[in-house]
Chains A and B, each alone.
Chain A
Amino acid sequence: AQSVTQLGSHVSVSEGALVLLRCNYSSSVPPYLFWYVQYPNQGLQLLLKYTTGATLVKGINGFEAEFKKSETSFHLTKPSAHMSDAAEYFCAVSPQGGRRALTFGSGTRLQVQP
């Protein structure tokens, strides 16, 4: 069984500050890892994913995440927050191979203060 824990249901940062959203996973097999963003009244948009290879993954809109197997973590970062980054962020995990059912965390709402 797989599970995802997102620490902090709400995170507030100032515009221009570092964004750090935390994600830890539990999986009995090597997983694929994802970060999705959801704007109000919209579906989910893929920010980035880790499947294999380089553990530092770069995504859209300046976000990146690092897969740390020893810590079972996949934290999302962005060096400088922008007002448009305010949204709900979801970390997700799936087993490698096959057709993947995603297991999502409960989400972190990011607020960006001017």
Chain B
Amino acid sequence: DAGVTQSPTHLIKTRGQQVTLRCSPKSGHDTVSWYQQALGQGPQFIFQYYEEEERQRGNFPDRFSGHQYPNYSSELNVNALLLGDSALYLCASSLANPSNAPLHFGNGTRLTVT
């Protein structure tokens, strides 16, 4: 049973460029959340998708956007990249119910902005 898979594993972009990160949730999971983990910090919540809609959003600018497809996979898009966007981006999936269903994390995409 495959867990949460993310692609690519590493990415190098230049300031001002746009990037798309991809996530396939664990089999059977229907909710996908994205987190940003800067070096030496805990993960910070970006947003969550369920039924192809953004359900919750953290304190991130509109440059960060996402999408969820009918097969529950998800994308994270970041426009106009800044040096400060360099981080590990983690995708987590879960069941929408029960409410205490655990999150399963992927291994992340390491984004470096130069």
Contact = CB atoms under 8 A, between A and B. Distances in A.
Contact of A101 (B56, B96, B99, B108): B56
B42 A90 contact: yes
A24 to B, nearest CB: 14
Interface stretch (A11-19, A69-77, A102-110): A102-110
Chain A contact surface mostly = loop
Given A43-B108, A101-B48, A105-B42, A49 B102 contact: yes
B60 to A, nearest CB: 12
B99 A102 contact: no
Interface residues of B, number: 28
A41 B6 CA distance: 13
Given A99-B56, A101-B56, A46 B102 contact: yes
Interface in A92-114: 92, 96-107
Given A32-B100, A41-B107, A99 B55 contact: yes
Contacts of A104: 42-44
Nearest to A106: B42
Contacts of B48: 99, 101
B100 A51 contact: yes
Given A99-B31, A104-B44, A43 B99 contact: no
B109 to A, nearest CB: 10
Interface of B: 4, 31, 33, 35, 40-45, 48, 50, 55-56, 58, 90, 92, 94, 96, 99-100, 102-108
